[in-house]
Amino acid sequence: MSLIFLVGPRACGKTTIGKTLAGLRRVPFIDTDALLQEQAQRSVAEIVARDGWPEFRRLESEALREAARRCGYPDAPQGVVATGGGMVLAEDNRRFLRAAGEVIFLQAPADTLAERLTRNALPSQRPSLTGGDMVQEVAAVLAERLPLYKAAAHHWVDATQPVQRLCALLQRLCPPQNGRSDS
């Protein structure tokens, strides 16, 4: 398949890796959180504050399908899509991801994720899910979602590796079709 979906918790590197991989493959890159915010004309934090998490999750599911459509799905899919950390919460999303493309779970330990979130804090894009301590929140959310990430994914990779090494690995796991890659 030529459509790659990156799943994993906040700060695992989905956007950074996705942009790099899409560049190597010369295919579109779409971040579902960015697409959702563009369509809603509001930040994730604003959506959650005004309409709540259920409405955000509904919009997130719509953004997933729109991202796939923009990448040519179902006719001739080509692209890399970075999904929001909670995309796997809905069973319909997990099924869609697996059916529409190759799903890569970017794994990283909770302490690494918390450090990245603290270093690159974006409160308008990443509202607290629990309102608690960052390290405890990341560990709790990761523990809750880990089985869902694993169930959705075709491949699991260590997201603590350097970006170029990860992209080379993903190129081997999901070879581009139609000779569109420079690697």
Which residues have C-beta within 8 Å of that of residue 120, sequence separation ≥ 6? Answer: 11
Angle at CA of residue 110, ends 104 and 112, nearest 5°: 85
Q: Note the pLDDT of residue 46.
A: 92
- Alpha-carbon distance of 163 to 155, in angstroms, equals 17
Q: What is the pLDDT of residue 2?
A: 87
pTM recorded for the entire structure: 0.91
Count of beta carbons in the 10 Å neighbourhood of residue 182: 10
Domain boundaries, given as residue ranges, for the chain: 3-173
- pLDDT tens digit at each of 183 positions of the chain: 589 999 999 999 999 999 999 999 999 999 999 999 999 999 988 999 999 999 999 999 999 999 999 999 999 999 999 999 999 999 999 999 999 999 999 999 999 998 888 887 655 445 556 666 778 888 999 999 999 999 999 999 999 999 999 999 999 999 987 544 443
- Which residues pair with residue 102 across a beta bridge? 4
Calculate the alpha carbon distances from 63 to 66, 108, 150 in Å. 5, 25, 21
From the candidate CATH numbers 3.10.290.10, 3.40.50.300, 3.30.420.40, 1.10.3720.10, the one assigned to the domain spanning 3-173: 3.40.50.300
